[in-house]
Chain A
Amino acid sequence: MTMVSRLWCRKARQNLAFAKVLGKEPKTFSTLVQLKTDEATDNNNDSQAQTNDELIKSPSLGNYRLVYPEFLPDPNPLYRNSIREKLERMDMLNRRSVLSIPEFYVGSILAVTYSDPHAVGKINKFVGICILREGCGLRSSFLLRNVVNGEGVEVRYDLYDPAIQNIDCLRLEKRLDDELLYLRDAPLEYSTFPFDMEIEAKISESVPVNDIKIPLNPLPWSQRWERLNLKGVKEIVVNERRQKKAAALAKPWEKYDLMKTYRETIPEEEQNEIFSDVYTKLNELEIQKNILKRKYMLQRQNSSKTRTS
């Protein structure tokens, strides 16, 4: 998968100049739309942001579980091993002290610079929307999606891959769903992002939620999306048979299954233990990151001022 996508990326890089010449209308279409909705949702979701803020404040160690989900181990007791987990955490911190990994969520737009011996200049930059975060510990990874040459491209990166040279979060936002895999069956414009996108300034303290509803392509699909109870999709139209089947397979009781939720998560006490273990180091790294970010923003402002003057 990565190999194929690398090839795609190389092509993309070669064609980048071509795309720029063509003009920005088709490429920036989706982002423009999103920008508008962004502002709108920011106003609409003030209340939601507030609740988010409360959520962030209430737990003792802040919102670490949301920002650093990969520090929490797999809840399945079969895979638990406290020593391995601790060692992995140390390795992760070491990697983070070398490479600054930004805060990002499913729905954020990332730019990843990856060392590639076959590429021109031996580096390869890919920009895309994060549609999936999975795995924990050193094996945690994320999936980026973009459209290159009218073709959807997905690249899976390991978060702690030593070949990654830089990760930038170009736009920090969340979507309504935990996974955006349905973008594969949505019109391409919804997963198209320009490769020369720049880092957007942070507007609010909390992470904005983009509640855009995406229409899906007509059938056939890669998955039966009607069964998944997706929030970020405009009304799904399927035939009656499939509707019935979906209704039959629905599990409305699952949200009441207390032990299921318990077995799928790490209890708060344990989370606190884990994060108090890494708290000091993470905090230091975060302060450094903020300083760098502010510097970068200042530089950009100065350069834009000079340009306008």
Chain B
Amino acid sequence: MNQAKIEKLVSRLRYNVGSKPRKLKNVDGPEGRLRKIKKTLTAVIKYERIELNYARADETRGYVERLISEALRHGPEHGETMELANFWIKEKQLVHKLFKVLVPRYQNYTTSFTKLHNAPCIYPGYAYKRAILELKGNIYPTVEQSNPHQHNLLHNILLDAARKEYRMEKYKEIAANMNF
């Protein structure tokens, strides 16, 4: 059992963080891994929605969330955070975007800042699972497709009716108890 490192305080991330980091196979080892993530992270901040392999998307998601939460926590005046932003974001104008656009956008969020969707594997497909990674609150139409006939589904009709009946019973009970 190891002691937790305590010198840095971090905010909790609001998504399920995997217990182990992925290696993201590459010739340069851990350094190359960060280089790959740096590329993807910059792209996510630039385009706000990208499609890529699932493993890399999931791995990058944590870094994006952490970077935004650090920016939210300390702001642009904090030297260390600025250094982090400079390291992770490869295009300088996007550093401005991080502090001037994303930080105000996520100021009052109580959920995660990013969303990860499973993307379809279109035949004949590629060996790896695909995913869509996006920043929340972007301008694009939503990825999720909800069933427009949801209220017509049989179980929904049944549950609705059951709820109504339950309420009516409750009302009757209340009315019966209101005897003066």
CA distance A70 to B1 in the complex (A): 10
- Known interface pairs A259-B62, A259-B63; A74-B19 also in contact (CB < 8 Å): no
Q: Is A269 an interface residue (CB 8 A)?
A: yes
Asked if A21 is at the interface (CB within 8 A of a chain B CB), the reply is no
Q: Who on chain B is nearest to A80 by CB?
A: B19
Stretch from B8-16, B95-103, B139-147, B168-176 at the A interface: B8-16
Contact A259 B87 (CB under 8 A): no
- Chain A residues positioned under 8 Å from B31 (CB to CB): 251, 253
- Interface check A215, CB cutoff 8 A: no
Cα–Cα distance between A77 and B18 once the two chains are bound (Å): 9
A266–B12 Cα distance when bound, in Å, is 8
Digitize A105-136: 1 where CB-to-B-CB distance is under 8 Å, 0 elsewhere. Answer: 00000000000000000000000000001111
CB atoms of B66 and A76 under 8 A apart:
no
Report yes or no: A140 in contact with B3, Cβ–Cβ below 8 A. Answer: yes
Q: Is B52 an interface residue (CB 8 A)?
A: no
B5/A264 in contact, CB under 8 A: yes
Tell which of B1, B12, B13 touches A136, judged by Cβ atoms closer than 8 Å: B1
Residues of chain A contacted by B6 (CB below 8 angstroms) = 65-66, 69, 72, 265
For residue B34, CB closer than 8 A to chain A, the reply is yes
A263 and B21 form a contact (CB under 8 A): yes
- How many residues does chain A have at the interface if contact means C-beta atoms less than 8 Å apart? 38
Asked whether any CB of chain A lies closer than 8 Å to the CB of B134, the reply is no
Say yes or no: A270 contacts B12, CB within 8 Å.
yes
The tally of residues in B whose CB lies under 8 Å from a CB in A reads: 27
Q: Measured between alpha carbons, how far is A76 from B1 in the docked complex, in Å?
A: 9
Across the interface, B34 reaches (CB within 8 A) one of A133, A137, A257, A264, namely: A257
Q: How far is the CB of A266 from chain B (nearest CB, A)?
A: 5
Main secondary structure of the interface of A (DSSP, over half): helix
* Contact assessment for A134 and B2 in the assembled complex, using a CB-CB cutoff below 8 Å: yes
Judged by a CB distance under 8 angstroms, whether B30 is at the interface is yes
Q: Indicate if A75 sits at the interface (CB-CB under 8 A).
A: yes
Cβ contact of A76, chosen from B2, B9, B84, cutoff 8 A: B2
Is A267 close to B, CB under 8 A? yes
The reply to whether the CB of A241 lies closer than 8 angstroms to some CB of chain B is no
Distance to closest chain B CB from A138 (angstroms): 9
Q: Which of B3, B30, B66, B84 contacts A262 (CB 8 A)?
A: B66
A268 on the B face (CB < 8 A) = yes
Question: In the assembled complex, which residues on chain A have CB atoms less than 8 Å from the CB atom of B11?
Answer: 267-269
Q: List 15 A-B contacts (CB under 8 A).
A: A69-B6, A74-B3, A75-B2, A75-B4, A78-B19, A253-B30, A256-B34, A256-B84, A256-B87, A258-B70, A260-B21, A263-B21, A264-B4, A265-B4, A265-B9
New contact pairs (13) apart from A76-B19, A135-B3, A266-B4, CB-CB < 8 Å:
A69-B3, A75-B5, A76-B2, A136-B3, A137-B1, A253-B30, A257-B34, A262-B13, A262-B17, A262-B62, A265-B5, A265-B6, A271-B9
Chain B residues with CB under 8 Å of chain A are 1-6, 8-13, 17, 19, 21, 30-31, 34, 59, 62-63, 66-67, 70, 84, 87-88
A-to-B contact residues, CB < 8 Å: 59, 65-66, 69-70, 72-79, 133-137, 139-140, 251, 253, 256-271
